[in-house]
Amino acid sequence: MKNAIDGLPVTPSADPSAVKAVLGIADQVFITTEEMSKLQHRIDAAKSNISTYVLEVRDLAVRAGQTQLVDVDPLITVGKLQELARNALTNEIRIAELLKTKSREEQNLAAAKVAILTNKSRLEELRLEALAPEVNLVPIGDRSK
Protein backbone atom coordinates (compact mmCIF):
# COMPACT_ATOMS: atom_id res chain seq x y z
CA MET A 1 0.00 0.00 0.00
CA LYS A 2 1.16 3.49 -0.83
CA ASN A 3 1.91 6.06 1.78
CA ALA A 4 0.80 9.66 1.41
CA ILE A 5 4.43 10.70 1.54
CA ASP A 6 5.69 8.38 -1.18
CA GLY A 7 7.67 10.41 -3.70
CA LEU A 8 8.36 13.25 -1.28
CA PRO A 9 11.88 13.96 -0.12
CA VAL A 10 11.02 13.01 3.47
CA THR A 11 11.51 9.89 5.55
CA PRO A 12 8.52 7.76 6.65
CA SER A 13 9.13 8.88 10.23
CA ALA A 14 9.23 12.60 9.33
CA ASP A 15 7.44 15.08 11.50
CA PRO A 16 4.01 15.98 9.98
CA SER A 17 4.86 19.69 10.10
CA ALA A 18 8.03 18.99 8.08
CA VAL A 19 5.95 17.03 5.55
CA LYS A 20 3.48 19.89 5.44
CA ALA A 21 6.36 22.34 4.86
CA VAL A 22 7.70 20.16 2.02
CA LEU A 23 4.22 20.01 0.47
CA GLY A 24 3.96 23.81 0.79
CA ILE A 25 7.30 24.22 -0.98
CA ALA A 26 6.17 21.77 -3.69
CA ASP A 27 2.96 23.77 -4.13
CA GLN A 28 4.97 26.99 -4.39
CA VAL A 29 7.25 25.40 -6.99
CA PHE A 30 4.19 24.25 -8.94
CA ILE A 31 2.53 27.69 -8.73
CA THR A 32 5.77 29.46 -9.68
CA THR A 33 6.24 27.09 -12.61
CA GLU A 34 2.69 27.83 -13.84
CA GLU A 35 3.28 31.59 -13.48
CA MET A 36 6.56 31.31 -15.36
CA SER A 37 4.79 29.35 -18.09
CA LYS A 38 2.10 32.04 -18.36
CA LEU A 39 4.75 34.76 -18.46
CA GLN A 40 6.68 32.89 -21.13
CA HIS A 41 3.46 32.62 -23.14
CA ARG A 42 2.91 36.38 -22.76
CA ILE A 43 6.53 37.07 -23.78
CA ASP A 44 6.14 34.85 -26.83
CA ALA A 45 2.85 36.57 -27.73
CA ALA A 46 4.49 39.99 -27.30
CA LYS A 47 7.38 38.96 -29.56
CA SER A 48 4.88 37.71 -32.12
CA ASN A 49 2.92 40.99 -31.87
CA ILE A 50 6.12 42.99 -32.35
CA SER A 51 7.06 40.92 -35.40
CA THR A 52 3.57 41.33 -36.83
CA TYR A 53 3.67 45.07 -36.12
CA VAL A 54 7.03 45.45 -37.86
CA LEU A 55 5.79 43.55 -40.91
CA GLU A 56 2.56 45.57 -41.06
CA VAL A 57 4.44 48.88 -40.79
CA ARG A 58 6.82 47.79 -43.57
CA ASP A 59 3.83 46.76 -45.72
CA LEU A 60 2.18 50.11 -45.06
CA ALA A 61 5.36 51.94 -46.08
CA VAL A 62 5.49 49.98 -49.34
CA ARG A 63 1.78 50.60 -50.06
CA ALA A 64 2.34 54.30 -49.38
CA GLY A 65 5.17 54.32 -51.92
CA GLN A 66 7.72 55.07 -49.21
CA THR A 67 10.07 52.13 -49.74
CA GLN A 68 12.95 54.11 -48.25
CA LEU A 69 11.20 53.67 -44.87
CA VAL A 70 11.04 49.86 -45.03
CA ASP A 71 14.24 49.32 -43.07
CA VAL A 72 13.78 52.28 -40.71
CA ASP A 73 12.66 51.77 -37.10
CA PRO A 74 8.89 51.15 -37.23
CA LEU A 75 8.12 53.95 -34.75
CA ILE A 76 9.99 56.46 -36.92
CA THR A 77 8.30 55.03 -40.03
CA VAL A 78 4.85 55.43 -38.47
CA GLY A 79 5.67 59.03 -37.52
CA LYS A 80 6.81 59.86 -41.04
CA LEU A 81 3.76 58.14 -42.57
CA GLN A 82 1.49 60.14 -40.26
CA GLU A 83 3.24 63.34 -41.33
CA LEU A 84 2.76 62.39 -44.99
CA ALA A 85 -0.90 61.63 -44.33
CA ARG A 86 -1.41 65.03 -42.67
CA ASN A 87 0.28 66.75 -45.63
CA ALA A 88 -1.88 64.80 -48.06
CA LEU A 89 -5.02 65.81 -46.18
CA THR A 90 -3.92 69.45 -46.19
CA ASN A 91 -3.32 69.21 -49.95
CA GLU A 92 -6.71 67.59 -50.53
CA ILE A 93 -8.43 70.37 -48.57
CA ARG A 94 -6.55 72.99 -50.58
CA ILE A 95 -7.48 71.28 -53.86
CA ALA A 96 -11.15 71.22 -52.80
CA GLU A 97 -10.95 74.96 -52.06
CA LEU A 98 -9.31 75.62 -55.44
CA LEU A 99 -11.98 73.59 -57.22
CA LYS A 100 -14.70 75.63 -55.50
CA THR A 101 -12.95 78.84 -56.52
CA LYS A 102 -12.60 77.55 -60.08
CA SER A 103 -16.29 76.69 -60.17
CA ARG A 104 -17.23 80.20 -58.95
CA GLU A 105 -14.92 81.78 -61.51
CA GLU A 106 -16.39 79.63 -64.29
CA GLN A 107 -19.86 80.82 -63.23
CA ASN A 108 -18.63 84.43 -63.26
CA LEU A 109 -17.13 83.90 -66.72
CA ALA A 110 -20.38 82.43 -68.02
CA ALA A 111 -22.30 85.39 -66.59
CA ALA A 112 -19.81 87.80 -68.19
CA LYS A 113 -20.25 86.07 -71.58
CA VAL A 114 -24.01 86.42 -71.27
CA ALA A 115 -23.57 90.11 -70.40
CA ILE A 116 -21.32 90.60 -73.44
CA LEU A 117 -23.87 88.98 -75.75
CA THR A 118 -26.68 91.06 -74.21
CA ASN A 119 -24.68 94.26 -74.57
CA LYS A 120 -23.66 93.41 -78.15
CA SER A 121 -27.31 92.85 -78.97
CA ARG A 122 -28.27 96.17 -77.33
CA LEU A 123 -25.47 97.96 -79.21
CA GLU A 124 -26.72 96.49 -82.47
CA GLU A 125 -30.23 97.75 -81.68
CA LEU A 126 -28.80 101.22 -80.97
CA ARG A 127 -26.78 101.15 -84.23
CA LEU A 128 -29.91 100.28 -86.21
CA GLU A 129 -31.88 102.96 -84.39
CA ALA A 130 -29.17 105.53 -85.15
CA LEU A 131 -28.89 104.33 -88.74
CA ALA A 132 -25.11 104.08 -88.26
CA PRO A 133 -23.13 101.74 -90.57
CA GLU A 134 -20.93 100.55 -87.65
CA VAL A 135 -21.35 100.40 -83.88
CA ASN A 136 -18.31 102.67 -83.50
CA LEU A 137 -20.14 105.36 -85.47
CA VAL A 138 -23.21 105.48 -83.20
CA PRO A 139 -23.36 109.00 -81.83
CA ILE A 140 -22.64 109.21 -78.14
CA GLY A 141 -25.12 111.23 -76.11
CA ASP A 142 -24.31 114.13 -73.82
CA ARG A 143 -21.72 112.86 -71.33
CA SER A 144 -22.16 115.74 -68.94
CA LYS A 145 -25.27 114.20 -67.40
pLDDT digits (tens, 9 = 90+) for 46-92: 999 999 999 999 999 999 999 999 999 999 999 999 999 999 999 99
User: Are the C-beta atoms of residues 128 and 140 closer than 8 Å to each other?
Assistant: no
Question: Is residue 61 a contact partner of residue 85, using CB atoms and an 8 Å limit?
Answer: no
**Cut 0.85: pTM above it:** no
Q: Which residues of 37-59 are buried (b: 16+ CB within 10 A; e: fewer)?
A: eeeeeeeeeeeeeeeeeeeebbe
